[in-house]
Chain A
Amino acid sequence: MIEVQNLRKSFGTVVALDGVSFEVNHGETFGLLGPNGAGKTTAINILCGLLRPDQGTVSLDGKTDPTVPEVRLSLGVVPQTLALYEELSARENLRFFGRIYGLSGRKLKERVRNCLEIAGLTQRSRERVSKYSGGMKRRLNMVCSLLHEPPLLLLDEPTVGVDPQSRNLIFETIEAMKKQGRTIIYTTHYMEEAQRLCDRVAILDHGRILDMDSVENLIVKHGGPSHIEAEFEERPPNPDRIRQFIEDKNMRFEETKIRFKTNRPMESLAMLNRSGLRFRSLKVQTANLEDVFLNLTGRRLRDE
């Protein structure tokens, strides 16, 4: 279990983290969602011991010093930058990092082969990394941290600047790690990634956690109403009857179409269905984390 209590970190006059606290359970995928400069990377760097907090504590399975070699062996850190030796091949990079983590002999060989397969780089494993595409480098950057099969993964925006194919491969890898029961902390400013991968998400802005919950609960709490647009086969004979059970006072009728907002989209749709009208088309636009962030901060995630 990971426990972070009241973390504070400043760089000169810039406050990067301002009293951040959260807990992550074993096997959970926890997302830190926020725009650039929110403090996500600073939090990861403190978690892995690269930075010392000005205040606050970090506990990784009860151990409070992440710089202890025993703790570091249990950590797999995927940095945001492409931390690879470009003059070496993928295989040589993996061998080197494997040896650093104490792997050797058959075990090292097996793990290198396995990681090359995960990254989809087996065919080009002997080429220098400098000749790889951005997506290939990003995939290799990730698997270099999986070599020693760490129980805790810290992924700092692992999909920045990659093509859709590489992004999917990275998602599939992370989902496979989830299934294996690894604990994952994942930072991103892409709400789709957080929605797809994370069990719980903390919304981080200006070094503070604004709220933290499962994606569904955050949307319910801060996402605002869903937008429903329905078109019927015929004009509703009695619109006032519909108005009675749709709470939206701004609901609009346009001949056979009806548009409204609701916090309970499923219940509203069930009631429309019971009214005896036959649907020609139905469009439901539910709130997402983007709306959550917008409602919490008044800004969009990628404004900055």
Chain B
Amino acid sequence: MKKSIILALKDLMILSRDKFSLFWVLCFPALFALFWGVIFSTGSKGPSGMKIAVVNEDQSEFSKLYISRLESYEALDLTSLSRDEAIDQVRTGKQVAAVCIKQGFGDGFEAIFDSNNPRLEVAVDPARHMESGYLQGLLAKAQFEALGKKFQDRDWMRNQVNLWRRDIEEADDLTAKQVETLLSFFDSYDMLLQDVNETDYMAGLEGGMLNFATLDVRRESKGPTSSFQITFPQAIIWGLLACSATFAISIVSERKVGTFQRLLVAPLSRANILAGKAMACFLACIAVICIQTAGAKFIFGMPINKPMFFVPAAACAILCFVGLMMIVSTMSRTEQGAAGLAWALFMIMAMLGGGMLPLIAMPQWLRSISHISPIKWSILAMEGAIWRNFTLTEMFAPCSVLLAIGTVSFLLGVMILRRVEQ
């Protein structure tokens, strides 16, 4: 064990002096996480409001009240424009719709509900039909809310009552009995508006308005809460790949240069030598994970939902890549060949396994293929601890697959290496 540690420390010292390898092991993964993390976070602030152009040709108190109600909706993003500008922007796709408030909109109930001469015009982008219905609902809601505000203005209401009484008196299609009943109702209502004190009136209105209580429901979170929760597991994988490739190449290099043979004639067992290499790779991987995770947590505030699960997940991923390192080291006799092969193999694994495109962004068929890549299982294990909130049982599957791949690769690598050396 002591000799394996001496061998491992030597390898780590060599790694620390190889600037090129250090870049791939530490800098590239951090840049990868940062780059994609920032891009994803920019695009994940949530949907912005529906862009609506408003044309206020009425300029009445009621139309202004109506627009203020529309502005209070988060679902809408209003811009005041002239009629021509508004229509033009809808035509060019810059606005989803244009709402034109025509003159006379604030002239009272008749103007609002006059179906023969609508005072509200809506032009919707033909490509945005789905939003059209939603917009109409919001426009109606705002209209009722504006009217509700008007109901609180007693003078305005009494004026409206007088207008309605006049209309009833002039109506030809009502019987005398109906006219009498309706006028009696409006007389009583006018008296109420005249006599009732302010407090009772407002209290009565509030009780009578359409009110509902808002329940505070927190949606169950099944996705990552930060884009770095997706990009940092990927970055860690790139660091592990770089470690694995670097140490695989170092074994090939030692065999080629002759230092491996020199170690073989020293009082060391072959197991000592290979354990030293594996330990060096393992320690380098741990350093990569610690640095990346610390950076993600303390600089970018990435939450790890289950830190106790993250440790075994990372350990299994490391063991898998140590095993892969061993088998890759047997695939070529030259450093160039080993480097080319290692990165070609790892690139394919990364493409299929979610090292480049996040697993959650993959189409279903690619997710099915990704099962063959150890990178998929590594990311899944780490994501399970970071944001997928895996249970112990759920963690078992990816960790077992990683350990199995690591063990088989390592043993196969040792066997091939032994045969090649003889």
Contacts and interface: CB of A to CB of B under 8 A. Distances in A.
Nearest to B15: A87
Nearest to B256: A81
Interface string B259-283: 1011111111100000000000000
Interface of B: 3, 6-7, 10, 13-14, 17-18, 257-259, 261-269, 421-422
A79 to B, nearest CB: 5
A97 B262 CA distance: 9
Interface in A122-178: 128, 144
A50 B265 contact: yes
| Secondary structure call for the A interface | loop
Contact of A82 (B6, B17, B258, B264): B258
B262 A82 contact: no
Given A72-B267, A85-B10, A100-B6, A77 B262 contact: yes
Interface in A90-107: 92, 96-97, 99-102
Contacts of A83: 257-259, 261-262
Q: Interface residue tally of chain A, by bracket?
A: 20 to 34
A75 B262 CA distance: 11
Contacts of A102: 267
B228 to A, nearest CB: 34
Contacts, number: 66
Contact of B263 (A48, A73, A87, A100): A100
A144 B259 CA distance: 11
A49 interface: yes
A75 B267 CA distance: 9
A73 B14 contact: no
A92 B257 CA distance: 17
B22 to A, nearest CB: 12
B262 A79 contact: yes
A87 B18 contact: yes
Interface string A31-56: 00000000000000000111110000
A84 B262 CA distance: 9
19 contacts: A49-B265, A51-B422, A52-B422, A73-B267, A79-B258, A79-B261, A81-B257, A83-B257, A83-B259, A83-B261, A87-B13, A87-B14, A88-B14, A92-B13, A96-B6, A97-B262, A97-B266, A100-B6, A100-B7
A298 interface: no
What are the 10 closest A-B residue pairs judged by CB atoms, nearest first?
A: A83-B258, A81-B258, A69-B267, A83-B262, A72-B267, A48-B265, A87-B17, A87-B14, A77-B265, A83-B259
A209 to B, nearest CB: 23
Chain A CB count within 10 A is highest, among B14, B259, B261, B268, for: B259
Contact of B266 (A70, A80, A87, A101): A101
Given A52-B422, A85-B10, A92-B13, A100 B258 contact: no
B206 to A, nearest CB: 81
A217 B117 CA distance: 131
A96 B9 CA distance: 10
Contacts of A80: 258
Contact of B259 (A75, A84, A101): A84
A289 to B, nearest CB: 28
A50 B3 CA distance: 19
B10 A96 contact: yes
A88 B12 CA distance: 11
Contacts of A82: 257-258
A88 B14 CA distance: 7
Given A52-B422, A96-B6, A85 B268 contact: no
A115 to B, nearest CB: 15
Contacts of A81: 257-258, 261
Given A83-B259, A92-B13, A100-B266, 15 more contacts: A48-B265, A50-B264, A69-B269, A70-B267, A73-B267, A79-B261, A84-B259, A88-B14, A96-B10, A97-B262, A99-B3, A99-B6, A100-B6, A100-B263, A101-B266
